[in-house]
Amino acid sequence: MIRKVVVIGPESTGKSTLCEQLAAHYQTAWVKEFAREYLLTHGSKYAYADLGKIAEGQLHLEDEICKAAIRNQQSALMFIDTDMYVMKVWSEFVFNKCDSSILNEIVKRHYDLYLLCNTDLPWVADELREYPDLHSREVLFHYYKDAMINQPVPWVEITGNNEQRLAKAISAINKMMF
């Protein structure tokens, strides 16, 4: 059985960096955020229908990496940069609605721990990021926090600089695993 740790939060809060650091620390696999590749390929302008395609791609990528880890008898731990809660928040924040397929996957999928990245890192611009203002990022953070409070999986808020975030995440994972 593979234990799955999901890293979520608003854009530019260190999710990908944290996933990569954790995968290196535990010498295991991690699932990248599919949306980034999708938007780089199809353009940064997106419609509501694109979110369904992105959600499907994220789930497919997660399933493929999980199967490969099982097949290769890798670590019993996997890190996931983004899940359907991210898709739900994104859908609701931008389009004021969320497709039922995303909501169904939230109910269906099992994860062992969530790491919720706070907005206390400086925002870093790139061609895909949409919300440079702290207010929007804080509003999004509260959407994520509300989602975490209202679901049954343990979660930990991750704050501080990159080293502090990594240490806090490792501590939470070790408590879960051992």
pLDDT over 90 at 162, yes or no: yes
In this model, does residue 137 exceed pLDDT 80?
yes
Q: Give the model's confidence band at 74: pLDDT under 50 very low, under 70 low, under 90 confident, else very high.
A: low
Across residues 27-38, what is the average pLDDT? 95
Contact 170, 25 (CB under 8 A): yes
Q: Which CATH architecture has domain 3-177?
A: 3-Layer(aba) Sandwich (3.40)
Determine the Cα–Cα distance for residues 19 and 59; give it in Å rounded to an integer.
17
Q: What is the pTM of this model?
A: 0.95
pLDDT at 72 over 90: no
DSSP for 124-138 reads ---TT----SHHHHH
For residue 144, is pLDDT > 90?
yes
Q: Would the pLDDT of 167 be above 70?
A: yes
Domain boundaries, the chain: 3-177
- Cα(71)–Cα(55) distance, rounded to whole angstroms? 24
